[in-house]
Structure 1
Amino acid sequence: MSRSVKCSVFFLVFGVVLIILGCVFIPVFHNMIHNEIKEQIPLKVGSKSYNTWLDPPVPIYFQVWVFDLVNPLEVVQQGATPAVIQKGPYSYREHRQKVNITFFENGTLAYREKRSFTFDREMSVGPESDTFTTVNLPMITIAELIRFEYGWLQAFVDALLEAVGDAELFLKLSIADILWGYEDALLKSIKEIAERFNHTLPDEFGLFLNNNGSDDGLYTIFTGSDVQGIDKFNLINKWNYKQRLGYWNTDFCDMINGTDGTMFPPFLEKSDKLYIFSTDICRSIYAAYESDIKLKGINLYHFTVPPKVFERASLNENNAGFCSPPGHCLPSGVLNISVCKSGAPVVISNPHFLQADDEVINGVIGMHPNKEEHQTVLDVDPLTGVVMNAEKKLQLNAFLQKVDNFKSTSNIKDVFFPIMWLNESALIDDKSANEYKTSLVTPIKITQAVQYGLIVIGAFLFICALAFFIKHKVTQKKADVLVDIPNERLTNDRPDTERTNLIQT
C-alpha cells in the first residue's frame, strides 16, 4: 500500500471519528447545560435567580390611557352612543419589594410583595392632576346593588342621592382620583342603608384604592428544588392560604394557575401554555406561542393571550364559570369582575375591546382596536423560562345599565363604557442582556461551535479522503488494464515497417 493511500485511509477514519465525536457531544453538552440550569434556577438564598426574583433589575412601568367622554349630556338625556377621546399615557415607575419571606421544607416559600408607584412627569402627557369626564362608579355601584329591589326603595335612594348632590352619572375626576381613590360623600351617605342589605361600602373609591404602598395578598410558590422538581418552579401553590379563589362558579374557572408572570419553569416547548394568575383581573389566564423573535441578541419565544381566553361561554364552554351571576354571560372579549370588586359593575377587556364582539366595540365611538398596540405579550427565553419583555395590557370598563327609578340612568342604553386602559411593562436592559448572554448564550454558542465544527471538519476530511481514495482506485484500475493487454495486440498495433523488420530477423 502506497504512502498516499495510507494517508487517505487515515484521514478517512479520522474524519469518521470527528463526526462521531461531534454527534456524541450534542447530547453531552445538551445535558451539561440543562443540568447547570437545573442547578442555578431554584430559589435559594444567595443564588442569582433568587436575587433577581427578590429585586428585579429591570425597570417596571405602569402607564395609563384615559377615555374622556365628550358628550355626557346627550348620553344621559337622549340615550346617545358615548363618544370618547383617548388621553395618555400617564406614566408611573413601579417599585416592587418582597417581604415576609418564609421557606418551607416541602419545597415552597411564602411572601408578600409590596407595590408602590411614583408618577413620572417626563414620560406623561400631562400632570397627575389632569381631569377627564368619566362614569360615576360609586353611583352606579349603588344602582347595581338595588337593581332588583322594590321600586319605592329605588326611588328613595335616588332622592337621597340627589339630596347629597352626587346623583350625576358622569363626573370630572383627576387621574390620581380615579386610580388611587378619593373620599366620596355619596358612599358615606348611603353606607347605613347598604349595611341593612348586608352590603359593606367604603368611604373612599378608586380603581386601585389601597394598592399604592401595599401588597395584594400572601403568595405561596414552589421554589423549584428537588423536593417538588424544577417543573414547578415559581408556580403558585396558594394565594391567601387558598388554592381556590372562591369567586367563580366552576372549579375550572376558580383555579389558581401558573406564576405571577415574571418567570416560568425552564425548558419551554412551543406547545406549552403559560398560565398567569393576576389579582387585578381576579382569575388565571394563559398565553400561547405565536412566533420566534430576537431581542438584544437573544433568541426568544413570543407568547400572546389568544382570543379563546375571553370568548363567550357559547363558543368556549370552559368560560361558563365566569358568567356572573350564574347564567348571565357576557359577549366575547369582556369579563364581569364585580364579584371581587365589592359589587362595583367593573368589566375588564383588552384595550379598545380588542378581540371583543362587534356589538361591544361599536357600543362606544372612539374604539380603535389594534393587535400590535393592544395585546398582552410575553417574550420568554425557552431555556430558563425568564421573561425578557412583558407587556400586560388591560382595560377597565363600567357596565352601564338602565335602572328605572334612577333618573340619571332611565334613558341610557346598556353599554360597556371604557374608563381607562393600562400597560404594565418590563423590558430587559442592555446591561442585564449582556450579562445573560455572557453567562448562558455565549457558552451555548461555544459548545455548538465545537459540536458542529467537529462534524463539519470530520465530514470535510472524510469527503476529501474518500475522493482521493476513489481517484487512486480508478487510476490504479486503468494502469492494471494497460499491463494486461496481450502481446499479439501490441504486435498488431505496431507500424508496418516494424513488422517487416521482425519478419526479416
Structure 2
Amino acid sequence: MTCCCSRNGRLACGLISGFALVITGVIILCVGNKLVKDVVKKEALLVNGTMAFDNWIGTSNDFYEQFFVFTVVNYLEVTNEQATPYLRQMGPYTYRIKYLPKTNVTFDDNILSYTQFNEATFIPELSQGTEDDIITTLNLAAVIAPVILHGKVPNALISIFFKALNIQLFQNRTVRELLWGYEDKILKHFHVSDPTIGLFYPYNGTTNGGMSIYTGEKDINNVGMIYKWAEKTSVPYWNDTYCDMINGTEATSFPPFVKKHQTLYFFSSDICRSIFAKYHSMKYIRKIRAFSFVVPEEAMAAAQNYPNNYCYCKSHEAFLKNCTKAGVLDISPCKGLPIYMSLPHFLFADEEYRRDVYGMNPNFEEHKTHLDVEPVSGITISYAKRLQINLRLQPFPDITLLNLSKDILFPMVWLNETATINEEDAKKINDSMNIPLSIITFLEFILMILGVLIILLSLFCYMVFPGHKDQTPLL
C-alpha cells in the first residue's frame, strides 16, 4: 500500500485526488445537465400541472399597446395643389391590452385548443394626449368606398355623391374614432352592412379566431407550434403552399433549448402570415439571461432579393410596389381593404416610400420588432411588436375627389405592443431552471478546475522538491 507521506506517495495521492475531482465534475456535467434537461422537457409541456401550462393559462401579464398617429399638417396644399403630404407624429396613446381568460380549452391527442377574447383600456398616465385629441387624417370611407363598392356602384355615381355632400379627402377625427371606429355617412348612404369604420374596428369583445397548438407530448420540439388558426391548418389568402403556411408558434414561447443560430418562426394574424426572427444580441431581463431575436430586413424584402417572398405579391399592377420594392406587405387579400403593412416610419423599406411623404424618420432601435427569449425554457420574457398601417391612396377613373397625380402609401398610425414578464413569473423560471442549472455549472467548473490545479501542483512539487532519500533505521 502506497503511503502518502513518501515523495512518490504524495505524487500518487495528488494525482488520484485531482483526477477524481475532474471525473466527478465530468459526471456532474453529464448527469446533472441531463437531469435539468429532463425537468425542463417535462415542465415545458402544455399539459395540466406543468410550469408552461400554468404560465400559458394565466392572465397575470398585461400587454401595453402604444399608438402613434400621423396628422396631416399641409392638408389644404395636398388637396388643392397635390403637394407632398407633411405628416407629424402624435402620441403615444397607450392602452392596456388585457387578454381575458382563455375559454373553450380542450385537449385532444397532443392538441390544445382554445379561444381568447380581447379588451383594451386607455391609460391616460402613460399617454401624451387624450382620446379626444383631434387628428387631421385621410377620409377613410372616401378612400375605400371605390374598392368595396367596385362592381356594385359606378364610380361616376360615387363621384356625384361625394360632390353633393361636399365630401373632402381629409377629415378631422378624434383619436378614439380613428382607432376604434365611428359611423360614416358614406358607408351608411350606400347601405354597407356595417357603416362603422376605424383602423382597429372591431376590437373589444373580439377573439383570436380560435387557436389549436401542440402540447409537445409526442415531440417536445413541437410544443407551442400552431396546428390550426380559425379552424384552418393554413391561411387562404396567398394561393401558394409556402406563403399560406401557418408556421411557428404564437411568439409567446418556443420549444426549449433555443440556440443562437436558430431562426424563430411565428404566426401573426395582424399581417395574415408567418414571419421569422434571427438572433441579434444577449441581454438580462429581471436577472434572467435572454437571447434577443429581431425580425430582419429580409423578412419583408423585395422578391428579387429574397425569392421566398414572391408569393406575397398578389397582383402585377405597376403600382404594387410590394412586388418590386422592399419593406411593405400588401394585406388587402386578407383584410379586403387597400391596407399595406410595414415597420414604423418605413424601416427597412425602399426610399421611394419615404419620398412620397415628409416626416418619416426610421430608427432601428425604436422601430424594430424583437423577441427576448429565455433559451432554456423557450419562454418569451419580453417583446416589442411594431407595425405601421398604411392606406393606399390611388386615383380612380371618374371620381373627381380622387383625381390624384400618383399612387402613394399613406402612413396612418404605427403601434408598439410590448410586454415584460412580471417578477413572480421571473422568480419561477429562476427557481425551477436557471438557479439549479447555474449551481450545477458552477459546481462542475469548480471541481474540474480544483482537480486540474491539484494535479499540476502535485507534479510541480514532485519535480521541484525532490525530498530526502529514504533511510533504513539501525537495529
TM-score when scaled to structure 1?
0.87
Q: What amino acid is aligned across from residue 69 of structure 1 in structure 2?
A: V
1:108 and 2:111 matched: yes
1:4-35 CA-to-partner distances (Å, cap 9, x unmatched) read 32123112111011112212221211111110
1:430-482 CA-to-partner distances (Å, cap 9, x unmatched) read 34333322222211111112101110111111111111122345x67xx89xx
Is the contact made by 2:42 and 2:50 (CA closer than 8 Å) also made in structure 1?
A: no
Q: Distance in 2 between matches of 1:28 and 1:326?
A: 59
Say which of 57, 61, 65 aligns to 1:58: 61
Q: What amino acid is aligned across from residue 180 of structure 1 in structure 2?
A: W
Aligned residue number for residue 428 of structure 2: 435
Aligned residue number for residue 259 of structure 1: 249
What's the offset of the Cα at 1:417?
0.7
1:460 and 2:453 matched: yes
Aligned residue number for residue 186 of structure 2: 186
Deviation beyond 4 Å, 4+ runs, structure 1: 326-329
RMSD over equivalenced CA pairs, Å: 2.0
Query: Within 5 A, what are the aligned runs for 1:26-105?
Result: 26-105=29-108
Q: Distance in 2 between matches of 1:139 and 1:84?
A: 19
Q: Distance in 1 between matches of 2:65 and 2:351?
A: 29
Is the contact made by 1:61 and 1:93 (CA closer than 8 Å) also made in structure 2?
A: yes
What's the offset of the Cα at 1:157?
1.3
Residue 106 and residue 434 in structure 1: after superposition, are their counterparts in 2 closer, same or farther (change >3 A)?
closer
Aligned residue number for residue 209 of structure 1: 201
Partner of 1:396: helix, strand, or coil?
strand
1:213-269 CA-to-partner distances (Å, cap 9, x unmatched) read 2203011110111x3x11111111011221121111321111111111111111111
Count of equivalent residues: 463
Is the contact made by 1:249 and 1:326 (CA closer than 8 Å) also made in structure 2?
A: no
Query: Within 5 A, what are the aligned runs for 1:381-392?
Result: 381-392=374-385
Partner of 2:70: helix, strand, or coil?
strand
What's the offset of the Cα at 1:271?
1.8
Aligned residue number for residue 211 of structure 2: 219
Say which of 249, 252, 263 aligns to 2:239: 249
Q: Distance in 2 between matches of 1:237 and 1:329?
A: 32
Query: Within 5 A, what are the aligned runs for 1:487-498?
Result: none
Is the contact made by 2:65 and 2:418 (CA closer than 8 Å) also made in structure 1?
A: yes
Residue 306 and residue 201 in structure 1: after superposition, are their counterparts in 2 closer, same or farther (change >3 A)?
farther
Aligned residue number for residue 335 of structure 2: 341
What's the offset of the Cα at 1:412?
4.3
1:60-92 CA-to-partner distances (Å, cap 9, x unmatched) read 101100101011111122111110100110000
Q: Distance in 1 between matches of 2:457 and 2:208?
A: 68
Q: Distance in 2 between matches of 1:85 and 1:102?
A: 45
What's the offset of the Cα at 1:208?
1.4
Aligned residue number for residue 493 of structure 1: none
Partner of 1:16: helix, strand, or coil?
helix
Q: What amino acid is aligned across from residue 224 of structure 1 in structure 2?
A: G
Is the contact made by 1:287 and 1:304 (CA closer than 8 Å) also made in structure 2?
A: yes
Query: Within 5 A, what are the aligned runs for 1:301-312?
Result: 301-312=291-302
Is the contact made by 1:117 and 1:213 (CA closer than 8 Å) also made in structure 2?
A: no
Is the contact made by 2:215 and 2:224 (CA closer than 8 Å) also made in structure 1?
A: yes
Residue 118 and residue 146 in structure 1: after superposition, are their counterparts in 2 closer, same or farther (change >3 A)?
closer
Q: Distance in 1 between matches of 2:83 and 2:418?
A: 36
Is the contact made by 1:79 and 1:413 (CA closer than 8 Å) also made in structure 2?
A: no
The percentage of aligned residue pairs carrying the same residue is 35
Query: Within 5 A, what are the aligned runs for 1:81-480?
Result: 81-145=84-148, 153-165=154-166, 167-191=167-191, 202-225=194-217, 227=218, 229-325=219-315, 328-330=320-322, 331-342=325-336, 344-473=337-466
Q: Distance in 2 between matches of 1:95 and 1:451?
A: 44
Q: What amino acid is aligned across from residue 267 of structure 2 in structure 1?
A: F
Partner of 2:260: helix, strand, or coil?
coil
Q: Distance in 2 between matches of 1:349 and 1:50?
A: 33
Aligned residue number for residue 473 of structure 2: none
Partner of 2:177: helix, strand, or coil?
helix
Is the contact made by 2:249 and 2:267 (CA closer than 8 Å) also made in structure 1?
A: yes
Is the contact made by 1:248 and 1:254 (CA closer than 8 Å) also made in structure 2?
A: yes
What's the offset of the Cα at 1:329?
4.9
Q: Distance in 2 between matches of 1:216 and 1:21?
A: 51
Q: Distance in 2 between matches of 1:56 and 1:290?
A: 29
Partner of 1:97: helix, strand, or coil?
coil
Which range is displaced more, 435-444 or 109-118? 435-444
Partner of 1:383: helix, strand, or coil?
coil
TM-score when scaled to structure 2?
0.93
Partner of 1:438: helix, strand, or coil?
helix
Q: Distance in 2 between matches of 1:99 and 1:164?
A: 46
What's the offset of the Cα at 1:358?
0.4
What's the offset of the Cα at 1:135?
1.1
Q: What amino acid is aligned across from residue 220 of structure 2 in structure 1?
A: I
What's the offset of the Cα at 1:146?
6.1
Q: Distance in 2 between matches of 1:396 and 1:321?
A: 21
Partner of 2:259: helix, strand, or coil?
coil
Q: Distance in 1 between matches of 2:405 and 2:201?
A: 28
Q: What amino acid is aligned across from residue 173 of structure 1 in structure 2?
A: R
Q: Distance in 2 between matches of 1:458 and 1:411?
A: 79
Partner of 1:215: helix, strand, or coil?
coil
Is the contact made by 1:249 and 1:322 (CA closer than 8 Å) also made in structure 2?
A: no
Q: What amino acid is aligned across from residue 413 of structure 1 in structure 2?
A: K
Q: Distance in 2 between matches of 1:169 and 1:201?
A: 23
1:331-379 CA-to-partner distances (Å, cap 9, x unmatched) read 211111111223x211110000000000011211000000000000111
Aligned residue number for residue 16 of structure 1: 19
Q: Distance in 1 between matches of 2:29 and 2:255?
A: 23
Is the contact made by 1:276 and 1:286 (CA closer than 8 Å) also made in structure 2?
A: yes
